[in-house]
Copies of this chain bind each other. A is one copy, B any other.
Amino acid sequence: MTTTFIPRNLAELQTPAPLVDAALLAGNLALMAEAWPGPRLRPHVKAHKCTELARHQRDVGHPGFTCATIREVEGMVAAGLGQDLLLANEVLDTTRLGALVAAGARVTAAVDSAFTVEAAARGGVREVLIDVNVGLPRCGCSPADAGGLAELARAAGLEVRGVMGYEGHTMMVKDRADRARQVADSMALLEQAHAAVGGPIRSAGGTGSWDLNVSATELQAGSYALMDTDYASLGLPFGPALSILATVISVNQGGWAVADCGLKALGMDHGNPSLSDGSAVWFCSDEHIVFSPPEGGSLPSVGDRVRVLPAHVDPTMAYHERLYLVSDDRVQEAWPVDLRGW
């Protein structure tokens, strides 16, 4: 990692550079904190991988966080944000987590099998949630097995704080009524499991179910803070706080232009990004985005700046070393994206 002078002016930033609009970020955090105040929201740091951003989430009232990797847990503890961390994922190598717990951090791990229960106990993790499959074919035990697994965990000396179940398969259901029904079906499964497990926590949900999930005791939303074009297609009231600043490096009179934001600056699993000015994106290469102007528009000039809106925020952030908090043309702060890796 090179030491980098951080310019105060957007025009001087080297590109590609992830920009976070300070006002949109603050608005997104405030809106979610109003709906899910304090510990009712457990923001998922996988969406931004940035402890400075997490600090802003804590400052609007959320004491606990959700993590997807051991590195995220370690980084949050190192940043002084280890008051109540949930690793919402199964892990077998729990020694790094146990070391954090021994040093005073509060770390709760998800378990969905006898293997992961045994790993948690062996590694020194003291608290767990029973991870329940609520419809997404991924991790999680069947609701019918949750009670038995909780017994197993308690017999191994673990504190069972409750259940979690991510209704990820419902997040992108475009029709709101359909989405609501599917969320409710998933939460009925989680409630069934919870009745057998006990404990105060029923952790679930995400940005796509933020105003539909009426069952979760805590919501695990992450994308709401920065957003992406995929979530924007649902018509949620969170603003597109994240864009990637890029420089036009080549213009072809055949009708296209090229800017320096490519596959290595963008999560591509949800397809091509968009340009904020409505240009048509043709394709991305490793370090290029090729586009043509919007209907009736003219080609940009070499040196012009464009803003690229990612289709999927999480794997986008994982490519960048730092993000820039901006207000109009001013760079307010540079924040390390310090939770990358594993």
Contacts and interface: CB of A to CB of B under 8 A. Distances in A.
Residue from A1, A68, A133, A168 with most neighbouring chain B CB atoms (10 Å): A68
Interface in A280-316: 282, 284-288, 290, 302-303, 312, 314-315
A46 B286 contact: yes
B263 A137 contact: no
Contacts of A115: 302-303
A254 interface: yes
Interface in A321-342: 321, 341-342
A263 B321 CA distance: 17
Interface in A247-303: 247, 249-252, 254, 256, 258, 260, 263-264, 267-269, 282, 284-288, 290, 302-303
A303 B284 CA distance: 37
Contacts of A33: none
Contacts of A319: 318-319
A259 B253 CA distance: 48
A264 B89 CA distance: 15
A264 B139 contact: no
5 contacts: A138-B250, A138-B290, A263-B269, A286-B315, A320-B341
